Amino acid sequence: MSARNRELLALIPASLLVTVGFAAVFIQEDDLISDASLTYGGVFLGLCFVAHLIIRFTLPDADPYLFPLVALLACFGLVMIYRIDETLAREQAQWFVIGLIVFAATILLLRRDYRVLERYRYTIALLGIVLLLLPRVPGIGAQVNGAYLGIDLGPIAFQPAELAKICIIVFLASYLRDTRQMLVQGARRFAGITFPPLKHLGPLLVVWGAAMVLLVFIRDLGSSLMFFGAFLAILYVATDRASFVVIGFSMFAFGAWFFASTVGHVADRIDAWQHPFDDELYDQVGGSYQIAQSLFAQADGGVAGAGFGQALIETPGGGPILPAAQTDLIYALITNELGLAGACGVLVVYLLITERGMRIAMLAQDSFSTLLAAGLSAVFALQVFVIVGGVVKLIPLTGVTLPFISYGGSSIVANFLLVALLLLISDRARREAVGG
Amino acid sequence: MNKPIFRVYLVVVVLFALLVAWTSRWTVFEAEALRDNAKNRRELLDQQRIDRGPIRDRDGNLIARSVAGPQDTYSRRYPDDPLFPHAVGYSFVDRGQAGLERFYTDALVGDHGEITTLLDQFLARKREGDELRTTLDPGAQRAAIDALAGRKGAVVVMEPDTGKVRVLASVPGYDQNAIRDQDTFEALNGDEENAPLLNRATQALYPPGSTFKVVTAAAALDSGEFTPDSTIDGNSGKEISGVPLANSGGQDFGPITLTTALTNSVNTVWAEVAEDLGKGTMARYMERFGFGVDPPIDLPADEKAPSGEYVEGRVVPATSGAVDVGRMAIGQDKLLVTPLQMATVAATVANDGKRMKPWLMDRIVDPDGRTREDADPEQEARVMSESAARELQQMMGNVVREGTGTAAALQGIEVGGKTGTAEIDPDTDLNQPWFIGFAPLDDPQYAIAVTVERSQGGQGGDTAAPIAQRVLQELLR
């Protein structure tokens, strides 16, 4: 069977899920049954089919499972958001349309050779840094819970970090393709640890510095961790030197510790993380109420969950009992309603997507493609780890989104762009692998 | 570069395993502690979303119902002029629960302890509460409240053979709807003088006075030591436990039968009887009547109190060294009882010696109209033989026919009973008047206990007996 037919078949679980999911919402809130809401499912499946056709005609050899897995998550996320708020689901569906347009445009623009991106690597790097710093620009920057993650342009609110992560990965993949040999060959052993050559340490220190600046400016430990973690992953893949990772991670940990104890907001987040039930922190604005409620919601879910549509999101008075249920805490809501079992299911899908991405990286014939695919997969997996880790109190809670599930336009657009790049790499890699 | 990619992937797998581990921690291992966390209001809020079943009196009138509020929530409403506030209690999210609302909350929210199927969960079937049908009789309850006429006190009526509680009146009452308001609730709670939230029928402890002589008589007859015709010296001033004991008004009766001694409530006779029987026998019969433990009525444990000899706030058995058995036998000493306990004593005599479990629930009906639970009559104890009980019934009949309880007599229906007047403060003439009894005498349908709190100069015969008469009249109408 051809790759594309396998992809088409693999879309069946997603279509089943979206059908059953919406049906469950209808049955539960029978007063909501209307033709308009029933069409959500249909329209969404139509979009998936269109995307499949685009891939079929432009990237016939691309990985057949990546897109169906993404569609599965997107369907699940849409049903989840529909269950929270119908209006949000409509907006989310519109963002999916935009995301798919970006997806198609990326594929069409770069299908001849996506490696042209290397030519613009410094432009892209600059774009990434500008995007990251945009939320601090007075007038358009928006502060949420002390962190600067979003910009507000009147009608559109945007989280530029979502796009910035792709820019930075493209830059790093391209930069490390050139310097990896030198990094390895010039390395010296000192006190039993292999250090990169001083000459090339500079750029790496710059990346470390950028992550620290990120921490200070954006004041968000999670996104810094995500960026720096992805950087270390690419660095390791490029050089195969575990010592570089150890050095890099130690530097990050030191920096994080230093700023956590000096930057007020970061310190507050860490306090809230360690003492979620402290009376003072619990009542404080931006304190531990959110993480405490996240844990209560998960406890309420148990192994099998409270049942779809059963979780408490708002108090009868209208106040949130699970704040930011559609964005930051959507994983807690999933656990609440579908239990440990459902939550694990979602994590497995993310793991499978990462696995496809890593496989693409292994299959790729040139260093840039390998590093790009590995970097994109790593940043994707780390984003999931950072937000879910925050929700389950493994690390301090931060404001990044759960890819394809959380409500939010920038997240959807950026992650579709990421998947488009992975498919482009995959198509070329598999063709070359077959062609010899 | 494939090996490092594989290792990066392994790290991702480990990180995800950590996520699963931590999710398990909250959903499984520490879930219980999180649910019990004081900051966790989910269960409370969840309950608001359940359409609690209604509570009805025995005529089918709604005495508690749920009304739909905003956002799929429900709240409780009670009649504007509630007859049964203490028995029914209340259920409000901010206030908690009391009474039957609390005792039967599982049934009222439709929680039958079954394992819900995955399909149920997935479809999120709405839980509907069952309906609680009570044994409470609105006509008789109204008569009891009217007859108390604002005086603090309590009336309890039971069906002797089934244990069904027809009247559980406690005055003053309160407006259940009003206590949703925090300030009102605190005001009612802080009103120590009137204690309107106290269920005087099941929680209040009063000295029983001479009504307790029925217990002593039961022990005397059933033990075989005495008969209704046994003759004992009824002069006033006899030494009991080394201290002279007086009859009411200091009256000397001379040698009289036990029947006469009950009819005229002669203290010295019953004190001597109890001294003859001994503490062990008295303790045995008190235990059979249900003294010493919480009454087995279907109300929450903190809304009922055990009756008996109280030493330093705790019930002690009659065999305790602190007990003056002679004075206990006539309802003095350290004896404190609830009206429900005394109604149980009357009901046991009326039911030929069998003590039945008191029931407020008649049946529980699910939303489809099927009966889930029925209040089957349950025998708690065989207190005395049928013949002893029959003899005691006749003796109590005499009390109402020609003794201290004539005010409880009904037109054309014979009543059995016993009055009591416990002195609270002889200097200011404050009494606790009592009447316990049953009717009709030859085939008892109802057993009753009436008491009035801190009555100025009131006697069992002139204050409590007329209340019993009005309630029994309403019931036997």
Vertex B472, ends B469 and B473: CA angle to 5°?
80
Do the beta carbons of residue B327 and residue B284 sit within 8 Å?
no
Residue appearing with tokens 């006697």: B459
Task: Count Cβ neighbours within 10 Å for each residue of B56-92 and write b for 16 or more, e otherwise.
Answer: bbbeeeebbbbeeeeeebbbbebbeebbbbbbbbbbb
Q: Is the pLDDT of residue B348 over 90?
A: yes
Q: Which residue has the higher pLDDT, A102 or A18?
A: A102
pLDDT at B108 over 70: yes
Q: Which residue of B has its CA nearest to A377?
A: B9
Averaged pLDDT for residues B92-119: 78
Q: Do B31 and A299 touch (CB under 8 A)?
A: yes
Q: Which residues pair with B309 in a beta bridge?
A: B316, B335
Contact A335 B23 (CB under 8 A): yes
Instruction: Please report which confidence band the pLDDT of residue A426 belongs to, taking 50, 70 and 90 as the band edges.
Output: very high
- Asked whether residue B58 carries a pLDDT value surpassing 90, the answer given is yes
Please tell me the predicted confidence (pLDDT) of residue B75.
Answer: 87
Residue B210 bears catalytic tag: yes
A129-138, A316-325, B103-112, B184-193: range with lowest mean pLDDT: A316-325
List chain A domain ranges.
3-272+320-435
| Residue B142 near residue B83, CB atoms below 8 Å | yes
Q: What confidence tens digit (pLDDT) does each residue in B251-310 have?
A: 999 999 999 999 999 999 999 999 999 999 999 999 999 999 999 999 999 999 999 999
Percent of all residues in chain A with a pLDDT value above 90, rounded to a whole number = 33
More confident residue, A33 or B340: B340
**Which pLDDT belongs to residue A35?**
55
- Out of B4, B20, B48, the one facing A237 most closely (by C-beta) is B4
Among A240, A304, A389, the residue with its CB nearest the CB of B121 is A304
Q: Is the pLDDT of residue A136 over 80?
A: no
CA distance B156 to B359: 12
Residue A249 corresponds to which tokens in the numbers above? 């991670």
Q: How far is B14 from chain A (nearest CA, A)?
A: 11
The total of structural domains in chain B comes to 1
Is A189 or B375 the better-scoring residue by pLDDT?
B375
Q: How confident is the model at residue B449 (pLDDT cuts 50, 70, 90)?
A: very high
Interface test with A, best of B2, B3, B5 (most A CBs within 10 A): B5
pLDDT > 90 fraction of chain B, expressed in percent and rounded: 69
Rounded to the nearest 10 degrees, the angle between the axes of helix B213-222 and helix B339-350 is: 40
With 80 as the cut, is the pLDDT of residue A144 above it?
no
Domain annotation covers residue B29: no
A238 CB neighbours in chain B (<8 A) are 1
Read off the pLDDT band of B120 (50, 70, 90): low
| Distance, first Cα to last Cα, chain A | 21
Q: How far apart are CA A368 and CA A365, in angstroms?
A: 9
Helix (H) or strand (E) holding B155: strand B153-158
Residue B7: pLDDT over 90: yes
In this prediction, residue A178 carries a pLDDT of: 85
CA of B318 to nearest chain A CA: how many angstroms apart?
Answer: 50
Quick: pLDDT tens for B375-408.
899 999 999 999 999 999 999 999 999 988 888 8
Radius of gyration of chain A (CA): 22
User: Which residue is closest to A288 within chain B, CA to CA?
Assistant: B39
d(CA A331, CA A170): 29
Q: DSSP states of B355-376 as a string?
A: EEPPBSEEEEE-TTS-EEEE--
* Averaged confidence pLDDT in chain B: 91
B132: closest CA among B201, B193, B57, B82?
B57
Q: Provide CB contacts within 8 A for B276, sequence distance 6+.
A: B225
Residue B20 above 70 pLDDT? yes
> Would the CB atoms of A343 and B35 count as touching at under 8 Å?
no
For residue B342, the model assigns a pLDDT of: 97
Catalytic residue among B210, B265, B307, B455: B210
Give the whole-angstrom CA distance, residue B407 versus residue B302: 35
Look at residue A145 and tell me whether its pLDDT is greater than 70.
Answer: no
Please check whether residue B191 lies inside any domain of the structure.
yes
CB B133 within 8 A of CB B56: yes
B410: three-class secondary structure by DSSP = strand
Q: Which residues of A touch B28 (CB under 8 A)?
A: 302-303, 340
User: Which residues make Cβ contacts (< 8 Å) with residue B359, sequence separation at least 6?
Assistant: B135, B162, B163, B164, B165, B297, B298, B375
Query: How many residues comprise chain A?
Result: 436
- pLDDT exceeds 70 at position A156: no
Under a CB-based contact definition with an 8 Å cutoff, are residues B433 and B339 in contact? Answer: no
Question: Which of A302, A312, A339 lies nearest to residue B45, judging by beta carbons?
Answer: A312
Q: pLDDT (tens digit, 9 = 90+) per residue, A209-246?
A: 877 777 777 777 888 888 889 999 999 999 888 888 88
Cis peptide before B172 (omega within 30 of 0): yes
Ranges A38-42, A316-320, A403-407, A424-428: which has the least confidence: A316-320
Instruction: Please measure the distance between the N-terminal and C-terminal CA atoms of chain B and give it in whole angstroms.
Output: 99
Tell me the mean pLDDT in the region B44-70.
Answer: 86
Q: Is the residue at B1 inside a domain?
A: no
Q: Which residues of B touch A315 (CB under 8 A)?
A: 41, 45
* B177 falls within a domain: yes
Band (B106; pLDDT cuts 50, 70, 90): confident
Those residues whose C-beta lies under 8 Å from the C-beta of residue A382, and which sit 6 or more positions away, are A225, A226, A229, A230, A233, B15
Q: What is the full DSSP assignment across B29-62? A: ITHHHHHH-TT--HHHHHHHTSBPPPEE-TT--E
Q: What pLDDT sits at residue A27?
A: 65
pLDDT score of B4 more than 80: yes
Q: Which residues have C-beta within 8 Å of that of residue B476, sequence separation ≥ 6?
A: B410, B413, B439, B440, B445, B446
Q: Which residue has the tokens 């605190």?
A: B186
Check whether A277 has a pLDDT greater than 80: yes
The residue behind tokens 């000192």 is A190
Residue B476 pLDDT greater than 70, yes or no: yes
pLDDT given for residue A26 in this prediction: 65
Chain A: nearest CA to B68, how far in angstroms? 12
The residue among B111 and A247 whose pLDDT is bigger is A247
Q: Is the pLDDT of residue A37 over 60?
A: no
Q: Which amino acid does the sequence have at B281? A: T
Q: Is the CB of A385 less than 8 angstroms away from the CB of B25?
A: no
Rank A30-34, A281-285, B132-136 by mean pLDDT and report only the highest: B132-136
Task: State yes or no: pLDDT of B320 exceeds 80.
Answer: yes
Quickly count: other Cβ atoms within 10 Å of residue A225's Cβ: 24
A306–B121 CB contact, under 8 Å: yes
On whether the CB atoms of residues B282 and B291 are closer than 8 A, the answer is no
Do the chains contact at B26 and A299, CB–CB below 8 Å? yes
**Whole-angstrom distance, CA of residue A45 vs CA of residue A68:** 11
A229 backbone dihedrals φ, ψ, rounded to 5°: -60, -45
Q: Residue B427 — pLDDT band, cuts 50, 70, 90?
A: confident
Q: What angle do CA A247, A253, A256 make, to 5 degrees?
A: 140
B402 within a domain of the structure (yes/no): yes
Residue among B19, B26, B42 minimizing CB distance to A312 = B42
CB contact (8 A) between residue A298 and residue B23: yes
Contact B20 A344 (CB under 8 A): yes
Structure tokens, A387: 């937000």
CA distance B22 to chain A (A): 6
Find the CATH number of the domain harbouring B223: 3.40.710.10
> Is there a contact between A100 and A50 (Cβ–Cβ < 8 Å)?
yes
Distance from CA of B183 to the nearest CA of A (A): 20
Mean pLDDT, range A153-173, rounded to an integer: 82
Dist CA B432 CA A409 (whole Å): 77
Lowest mean pLDDT among A251-265, B15-29, B219-233, B257-271: A251-265
pLDDT at A203 over 70: no
Question: Is the pLDDT reported for residue A423 higher than 90?
Answer: yes
Alpha carbon of A165: minimum distance to chain B alpha carbons (Å) = 18
ipTM: 0.93
Q: Is pLDDT at B444 greater than 70 in this prediction?
A: yes
- Confidence at residue B272, expressed as pLDDT on a 0 to 100 scale: 93
Angle between helices A330-363 and B2-24 (to 10 degrees): 170
Q: For the residues of A340-368, what is the DSSP string, one character each? A: HHHHHHHHHHHHHHHHHHHHHHHH-SSHH
Q: What is the pLDDT of residue B203?
A: 95
CB atoms within 10 A of CB B312: 7
pTM beyond 0.80: no
pLDDT tens digits, A301-354: 889 888 777 777 776 656 677 887 888 889 999 999 999 999 999 999 999 999
- Please state whether beta strands B131-134 and B55-56 pair in parallel, antiparallel, or not at all (unpaired): parallel
Nearest CB to B26 within list A295, A314, A382 = A295
Longest dimension (CA), chain B: 117
Domain of residue B336: give its range: 138-361+377-475
DSSP H/E element including A151:
strand A147-153
- Asked if residue B23 belongs to a domain, the reply is no
- Residue A17, pLDDT > 70, answer yes
Residue A258: its pLDDT value, please? 84
Phi and psi of B238, rounded to 5°?
Answer: -65, 150
Indicate yes or no: CB of A299 within 8 angstroms of CB of B18: no
A317 vs B207: which has the higher pLDDT: B207
| Residues facing B373 on adjacent strands | B364
Taking 80 as the threshold, does the pLDDT of residue A254 lie above it?
Answer: yes
CA–CA min distance B132, chain A (Å): 26
How far apart are alpha carbons A212 and B344 in whole angstroms?
Answer: 79
Peptide bond into B208 cis (omega under 30): no
Interface probe, candidates B2, B9, B35, chain A, greatest A C-beta count within 10 A = B9
Cβ separation of A302 and B6 shorter than 8 Å? no
* Residue of chain A whose alpha carbon sits nearest to that of B31: A299
- Give the span between the Cα atoms of B284 and B279, in whole angstroms: 9
**How buried is residue A261: exposed, middle or buried, by Cβ count under 10 Å (0-12/13-18/19+)?**
exposed
- CB spacing of A309 vs B27 below 8 angstroms: no
A347 contacts on B by Cβ (under 8 Å)? 16, 19-20
User: Which residue among B9, B25, B45 sits closest to A315, beta carbon to beta carbon?
Assistant: B45
Is the per-residue pLDDT at A195 higher than 60? yes
Distance set, CA B161 to CA A5, B183, B352 (Å)? 79, 44, 9
Q: Which residues of B touch A351 (CB under 8 A)?
A: 12-13, 16
Higher-pLDDT residue of B446, A116: B446
Are A299 and B73 in contact (CB < 8 Å)?
A: no
In the predicted structure, residue B116 carries a pLDDT above the cut 60: no
> Token pair for residue B446?
């109802």
